[in-house]
Structure 1
Amino acid sequence: MDILAVILLGFFAAGWFVLAGADLGTGMLTPWLGRDDGERRLVLASFAPFFLGNEVWLVATAGVLVGCFPALEGELMSAQFPVFVALLTGWVVRDAGLWSRGRGPGPRWRAGCDTAVTCGSWTVALSWGWLLAALLTGRPYTPATGPTAAPTALAVAALFAAHGLGFAALRLTGPPYERARGLVGRAGRPWQSFALTAVLMAGLPLVAGTALPLAGQAASPATLALLVPALLVVTPLLVAVQAWIWYTFRHRVTGPSYL
């Protein structure tokens, strides 16, 4: 059961990086992709149908970590507390900007919300980079410091942005699409860039997770016997719903959404 728990944790973590990395990366590039209010709203519309469903994968990852590896979760949370605070702050700020944008009095309000989306997205990406820097250097119980911490965090954030750029090239139309396509490159098809960054994004948590003593800190056999079968039942449903959402909203956006 402990091996299945490790597989589920890796699956949900990789899924979040691939799926939510797309909307976070696009949010990071909103000011560059959208040069005015209308264009920025189109950029947000490109990932509006997905971001809530994508966040479920992060909740599932946290749930598996807490339920199946409680001792490890406590140690990791305590050691990386500043990183998790920054990550959650960025997440809340990003989502607050998205939900509040269409509910304010005018252009300044919307510009402030767009700034919140961009800054929150960058904060989440850099926070993950900071956390992964600690894991990749084999020091999961110490916040990343030293000459490798900042370059690693920036490299991870750049990968988030590249992943969002590939997603934008698949979803946008008009001038925002042209800007995204210009950076992705006109040789080949847009999905090739997105597929490449998706593989790299999925590999990040899997490689970093090798630094964690997962097998040695699993919950009791009785707990795993209760949680793992339940997760195995729920996981196909989650995948099916996610696949339906992406299939339903597979076409390019041509107008604003509810955000």
Structure 2
Amino acid sequence: MNKHFKKIACVAALSLMPMMAFADDGVGGDSGNGSGLFLGLDTGYSFQFTKTQVKNSKEIDTASGMAGANVGVKAGYNFFFTPMFGVRGYLDYTFVFGPSGTASEGGAVKTSSSTMNSAHLITLNADLLVNIMQTDSVAFGAFVGIGLGYGMASNVTTSNPGTTTTAYKAGGFLLPINVGLSLTANNHHRFELGFKIPTLSMDITEVSGVKVPDNAFDALNVKLFTTSVGYSYIF
């Protein structure tokens, strides 16, 4: 686990370098076209896709479903070359959580269990921004870009009487494609509908509390497709 957090810390540290450079140089053009530092929040739902292929087997098992709700924060810098075209660089963190539970009663014995499907995703992103339609106070646009980061995911069940079962743990580097639509009001308030399309998978390293043997699978991984609606304030 410490190794995973060290990788996340490295990604976060690297992401601060370009943002600091923008701020120090005073780059950003006219603030009236949406350029400037920004902070944002978003929320939505994430969908999970798993793939299993035993070593030297032609049979591939796939599964999909909802991983859970997500909440996220992001910070970065917008830079518009013209009123229509711009770019941005930013760091974002997303927490995915999908809780569920059951309860039963047999005689005098009451049992219950709760399951938490969760993930932590952090990425450094670069997007192309396009303002498609503009008025004096509102700009409707779109964005497309790519991210680089690291993610961890797990599914853990806790039962009463107290037992804990880990269905799986996964981790790996992320390379999502970012696409979405935006609405910027009064040059400071930006609303977005966004999607993160995964291109890399997180390898499942533990199943039912047991470490997955090396070279046991040609594929044993999970991907997260993230949807979100968000708000950012541009300074």
Greater RCO, CA 8 A, separation 6+: 1
Higher strand share: 2
Bigger CA radius of gyration: 2
Higher helix share: 1
